[in-house]
Each structure stands twice: as structure tokens, then as C-alpha cells.
């Protein structure tokens, strides 16, 4: 049966692949090793915390589809707060939504971000396509650069707006790869650059979750004064371990997530196109 949830994730996937060609390539590469479909463990979305656009506005779209709030996560140094959402149907992808705590940032960043947020028509957040609707404000290249100096997250979000930041292959559901190390090696053999911040594999069996990710692709953004090629989105790989009750752990690990955020960092080596 084709559900509204399938349609939403399909629209998010297509929008994400437009600026993340490596995800399509890796998906096909892994798919060719499989006798069954690749399962998406989760997606992640980013936003700013002023009321008009806060985490709740994004979460509402998932709650309307039956998702419920799971854990919450704090990222003190990056000034981020996040929650994850899961669905009673265990085959539904989990959703990780973070927001930048703008009030904790510099006065300059606050005034820049408030101008972006104020430019958004409040009605857009309830539109069906909001989660893959891109940017709702003008942004010039110098302002992007200024944001980048203080918060890579703020700069990425200002440039790309609303879209899936990443999709995630569930390694538990791969037939030919049992460990993240095997997946990572295959990707490196193909020439993909992995995020090595905190080590290529983040987390551990004890934490019940291991994760790795590519470094973001690069794609062209139309700033108001010029076009420029900047980091877009990345692909993630997650291996979950069973809890004492035998069910796979369904949460996230803050210390690992803290490093996954850095997959859109432009100071790191570029991924191949």
C-alpha cells in the first residue's frame, strides 16, 4: 500500500538526490549487492529556533503521520538542540530534527538570522511541501561567509533551507555487509571521502549504535549576488544493536551525532562528484 508517508519520503529523497548525486550512486551500488530493498534508517532535518520556524513546526508534519517524540539531545558547543521521532510502524524511517539556539549566538548572527526568519511567510511551514521547499529568503554570498565563520550549521541552513540533510542506510538490512567497517571500505574503494571526525565509525556496540557518513557532496547555490559551489548533503550508514529486551535500539547517541553534523563542514576534504 502506498501511504502519505511513502509520498513524503519519496519527495524528500528526490529533492535530496538533486544536490547529492553520490547518494544515488551509493544507493545503486549497495542495491546491486542486495536481494531485497535498501531500508532507510532515518533522515535528518535542520532549522532555526525562532517560533516561526522552530523544531515543532517541522515535527508537526511527522506527528500528523503518526510519529511520536523519542529522545532529546543537547549540543552545547554547536548551540543545537534536537529531538528524534519514531513511528509505531517499525518499518518507518526515524526522523532526527535539530534547531540552532539562535539566542545563544553572537549579536551579529542573531540579527542576520532574524532577518531571514522574518522574511518567511508563516503559512509556508504548514504547506505539504514545506520539508523539501528549500530556502525562503534572499541570501548574499558575503552573509553566507559571515555565518560560516561562526556556525557551519547556520551557514548550511541559510544557503539550503528546508530539505533532508541526509538519508541513512540501515546496515542491519544489508545482505552482503555485516559491519560498518566493511561498508566504509567499499565506499573508500569507490573513492568516496568519509567523515573521519572522531574516527570513521562513531559509537560502539555498547552504545547500541554505530554510524558513519560520507562527506557532503558539493553543489551550486544561487546566492542573490552570484552562484557558488558549496557543501550540500551527505549519506549516512547506521548499524543498530538489540537492547536487553531484544528490540533494536531506536534512539541516537549525542556524542556521535555531534561529529555527524560535521559532514557538511567545508574545511574537510571534498567528496568526489
Binding site for Ni ion (CB under 5 A): 44, 236
What end-to-end distance do the CA atoms of the chain give, in Å?
35
All cell numbers assigned to 20: 547529492
CB of 50 to ligand OOG, least distance (A): 18
**Closer CB to ligand OOG, 179 or 224, in the complex:** 179
Which partner in ligand OOG, Ni ion, none is near 46 (CB below 5 to 8 A by kind)?
ligand OOG
Q: What is the DSSP-derived secondary structure letter of residue 77?
A: T
**C-beta nearest to ligand OOG: residue:** 257
**Closer CB to ligand OOG, 256 or 271, in the complex:** 256
**Closer CB to ligand OOG, 50 or 251, in the complex:** 251
Torsion of CA 214, 95, 102, 203, to 10 degrees: -50
- In DSSP terms, which residues pair with 228 in a beta bridge? 221
Distance, in Å, from the CA atom of 50 to the CA atom of 105, rounded to the nearest integer, reads 13
Which partner in Ni ion, ligand OOG, none is near 54 (CB below 5 to 8 A by kind)?
none
**Closer CB to ligand OOG, 1 or 179, in the complex:** 179
Rg (CA), the chain: 18
Which partner in Ni ion, ligand OOG, none is near 152 (CB below 5 to 8 A by kind)?
none
CB of 203 to ligand OOG, least distance (A): 9
Residue 100 CB-half CA count within 13 A: 24
Binding site for ligand OOG (CB under 6 A): 44, 46, 96, 98, 165, 211, 236, 252, 256-257, 260-261
Distance, in Å, from the CA atom of 159 to the CA atom of 7, rounded to the nearest integer, reads 25
CB of 33 to Ni ion, least distance (A): 22
| Chain centre distance of CA 261 | 8
**Closer CB to ligand OOG, 102 or 107, in the complex:** 102
CB of 166 to Ni ion, least distance (A): 6
Distance, in Å, from the CA atom of 53 to the CA atom of 126, rounded to the nearest integer, reads 10
**Closer CB to ligand OOG, 83 or 211, in the complex:** 211
Distance, in Å, from the CA atom of 53 to the CA atom of 31, rounded to the nearest integer, reads 36
**Closer CB to Ni ion, 50 or 231, in the complex:** 231
CB of 137 to Ni ion, least distance (A): 25
CB of 257 to Ni ion, least distance (A): 7
**Is the distance from CB of 125 to CB of 52 less than 8 angstroms?**
yes
Q: What is the DSSP-derived secondary structure letter of residue 57?
A: H
Distance, in Å, from the CA atom of 164 to the CA atom of 134, rounded to the nearest integer, reads 10
Which partner in Ni ion, ligand OOG, none is near 252 (CB below 5 to 8 A by kind)?
ligand OOG
CB of 205 to ligand OOG, least distance (A): 16
Amino acid at each position: 500500500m502506498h501511504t502519505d508517508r511513502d509520498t513524503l519520503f519519496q519527495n524528500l529523497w528526490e529533492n535530496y538526490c538533486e544536490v547529492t548525486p553520490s547518494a544515488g550512486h551509493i544507493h545503486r551500488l549497495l542495491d546491486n549487492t542486495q536481494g531485497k530493498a535498501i531500508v532507510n534508517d532515518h533522515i535528518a532535518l535542520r532549522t532555526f529556533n525562532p517560533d516561526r520556524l522552530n523544531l515543532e513546526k517541522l515535527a508537526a508534519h511527522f506527528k500528523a503521520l503518526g510519529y511520536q517524540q523519542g529522545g532529546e539531545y543537547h549540543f552545547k558547543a554547536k548551540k543545537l538542540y534536537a529531538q528524534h521521532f519514531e513511528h509505531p510502524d517499525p518499518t518507518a524511517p526515524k526522523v532526527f530534527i535539530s534547531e540552532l539556539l539562535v539566542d545563544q549566538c553572537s549579536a551579529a548572527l542573531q540579527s542576520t538570522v532574524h532577518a531571514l526568519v522574518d522574511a518567511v511567510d508563516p503559512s509556508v511551514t504548514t504547506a505539504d511541501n514545506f520539508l523539501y521547499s528549500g530556502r525562503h529568503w534572499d541570501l548574499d554570498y558575503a552573509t553566507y561567509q559571515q555565518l560560516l565563520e561562526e556556525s557551519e550549521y547556520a551557514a548550511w541552513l541559510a544557503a539550503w533551507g528546508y530539505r533532508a540533510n541526509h538519508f541513512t542506510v540501515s546496515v542491519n538490512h544489508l545482505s552482503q555487509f555485516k559491519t560498518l567497517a566493511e561498508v566504509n571500505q567499499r565506499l573508500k574503494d569507490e573513492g568516496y571521502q568519509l567523515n573521519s571526525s572522531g574516527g570513521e565509525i562513531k559509537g560502539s556496540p555498547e552504545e547500541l549504535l554505530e554510524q558513519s557518513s560520507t562527506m557532503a557532496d558539493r553543489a551550486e547555490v544561487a546566492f542573490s549576488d552570484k552562484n557558488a559551489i558549496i557543501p550540500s548533503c551527505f549519506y549516512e550508514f547506521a548499524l543498530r544493536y538489540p537492547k536487553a529486551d531484544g528490540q533494536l535500539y531506536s534512539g541516537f547517541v549525542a556524542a556521535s551525532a555531534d561529529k555527524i553534523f560535521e559532514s557538511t563542514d567545508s574545511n574537510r576534504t571534498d567528496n568526489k562528484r
